[in-house]
Amino acid sequence: MREPTASPLSKRKSWAGWSIHLFPIPAIIIYGMFVLYPILAALSYSFFEWKGMARGDFIGFQNFVTLFTTEPYGSMFWNAFKHNVLYFIMQMVVMNGVAFFLAFIIYQKIKGAEFFKAAFFLPRVLSVIVVGFLWKLILNPNFGTLNVLLEKLGLETLQKAWLGDPGTALITIILVNCWFGLGFGVLIFLAGFQGIPNELIEAARLDGAKGFTLLRTIYLPLMVPSIMIMGILTFIQSFEAFELVYAMQGSMGEPYYSTDTLAVFFYRLAFGSSTASGATAIGLGSALATVLFLFILICTTLFLRLANKKDVQM
């Protein structure tokens, strides 16, 4: 007895079903070339001695030991790490705090809400290099707009060399970054507010909740997922901080390494400077990149697990 053969229509449907799996292949190839390969290459480079651009002998974890125990690398690593922690804390408090407040105001359907959303997000469409250059001009101690404005207001005592003073340089860069990223946070929080069912708000108001009580008992608990998302994104961005610091202060973390971050420190190690020359520069830079990647990966995983636990509890 002859077995039934598949019709041309069923063959086309079968091929169409299988062809769907081919569409991700270009994205996978690009991801592998520009993300996975550099990560694995940096990991492998960290286990070798380097003589300029030539790879030398396998030395195991010696680059990692040198990075943490040999001066000036050890002190510079912890100095940069401290700055990244400050970067994260200030962005969480200032940028995300202000973004949450502005999103809540826009959520109240104030007049001109669409204009404010566009205005807050506008800096985000600019190049980080352009932002850094513009703010360097604004903060110039001689002719910068900020110091000129302070003089016009009779506040000459507040005038500073904002990027030239070790006490203000890093904080100034972080505040510029907060201005730059504020609009993205506003949109994330606004989406969270708009996802809250109106029935819950109306029920709480009928029970007499209003003002701060309504914000504390209804809005904040339901905004936890959005807050966690912004916290994770802010953490990753803070510990990868490079472009704005480099645009405003260069690769040496000036003045006196007071604006140094781990990414800037990596740049000096991997591509050479007065503090990182010689045979092991690429190996040390790769070791630092590996440590930074693992630190971000582990902390982000813990944050995600905490966020998922919060969602389950809610």
What are the two backbone dihedrals, phi and then psi, of residue 312, each rounded to the nearest 5 degrees? -65, -45
Is pLDDT at 97 greater than 50 in this prediction? yes
Select, from the ranges 51-65, 144-158, 235-249, the one with the highest average predicted confidence (pLDDT).
235-249
**3-state SS assignment for residue 240:** coil
Please tell me the number of Cα atoms within 13 Å of 157 on its side-chain side: 0
State both tokens at 296: 């971000």
279: confidence class by pLDDT, cuts 50, 70, 90: very low
260: confidence class by pLDDT, cuts 50, 70, 90: very high
User: Distance of CA 276 to CAs 42, 70, 152, 181, 248, Å?
Assistant: 17, 12, 45, 32, 21
Q: Give the number of other CB atoms < 10 A from CB of residue 287.
A: 27
What CATH number did the domain enclosing 124 receive?
1.10.3720.10
**253 φψ region: left (φ > 0), alpha (ψ -120 to 50), beta (else):** left
- ∠ at Cα 140 (151, 94), nearest 5°? 85
Residue 275 inside a domain? The answer is: yes
pLDDT at position 83 is: 95
Is pLDDT at 26 greater than 90 in this prediction? no
Domain that holds residue 120: 80-312
Residues in the chain: 314
Going by C-beta distance under 8 Å and a sequence separation of 6 or more, which residues neighbour residue 141? 147, 159, 160, 161, 162, 164
Ranges 109-118, 166-175, 179-188, 245-254: which has the least confidence: 109-118
Residue 26 inside a domain? The answer is: no
Going by C-beta distance under 8 Å and a sequence separation of 6 or more, which residues neighbour residue 190? 103, 106, 107, 117
How many structural domains are present in the chain?
1
CA distance 145 to 5: 80
Residue 301 inside a domain? The answer is: yes
Residue 51 inside a domain? The answer is: no
Peptide bond into 225 cis (omega under 30): no
Residue 18 inside a domain? The answer is: no
Q: Give the number of other CB atoms < 10 A from CB of residue 132.
A: 21
Residue 189 inside a domain? The answer is: yes
- Whether 251 contacts 274, CB under 8 Å: no
Nearest residue to 163 (alpha-carbon basis) of 33, 250, 81: 250
Residue 23 inside a domain? The answer is: no
Look up tokens 């081919």; give the residue: 22
Find residue 222's DSSP bridge partners: none
250: confidence class by pLDDT, cuts 50, 70, 90: confident
CA distance 227 to 95: 12
User: Distance of CA 30 to CAs 25, 165, 286, Å?
Assistant: 9, 43, 22
pLDDT in tens, 199-247: 888 887 777 767 677 777 788 888 888 899 999 999 999 999 999 999 9
